[in-house]
Structure 1
């Protein structure tokens, strides 16, 4: 059984990643309607990565089989694409600067290896997500779409995110071969 503090962190992270997944799909639809097709692709790609993170956190709960009240904060309030990017940046930066560092320490302290791996995967990907959203926002603030060459590639195991013509030969986080990456 997962220890209580780690269980609470996993439930919170599961809730937060699940909400991010849905929020980014909504943001993608808005970006598409506003003519920011590449920003819409970015939101959809990262939504998939957040789904990967949520699934990893859920699996790390192992035999936990009870009703749970999931408490997870999230920047809410869809608007125009530049506002949605700002909300996405805030959410990703919170995960990188506050949430995942603490959750990682809890999992390490409680010797919960599966949770530690899940939190580590998400932490590393969220750093990339925040940077990509910052880059996209610079263009959207000028009324321009984010100039994307190639695809946005997501590792289906850890959520690692890569932009380019082809994914890396192996995921630098979990080692998955390039053939497994999902392109957007």
Structure 2
């Protein structure tokens, strides 16, 4: 995943654009749920449509940053990101929250860290399956269930 903008202000701008569009997409998705729950179907649909637009904007900036690769590289990137979240980011957030007296929030950070650890493990297992050609074929008998049905 090469990034021709590495080390430039343009790279910083692209990262800010990606982050902003990604955050907006999530917010608008949440807002759509609230509007729908309150009976505002048209407003909910508009939030959802705008969230979809923001997703495409974010994808455009992510691609410019070289963030999309093949599946093995994407799995590696995802696993590395999840590792950072559970070993560093959420651990640090929990420590700070605890020190500042926000014990319930610290517990939430720790709980999410455990989930992120599971995500990392899952991505690494999938990567191993891809690398060993075990995605569509296993050495032991498995029951297969159609994902569409």
Instruction: Name the TM-score class by shorter chain.
Output: 0.3 to 0.5
More strand, by proportion? 1
Higher relative contact order (CA 8 A, sep 6+): 1
TM-score (norm. length: structure 1):
0.38
Larger radius of gyration: 2
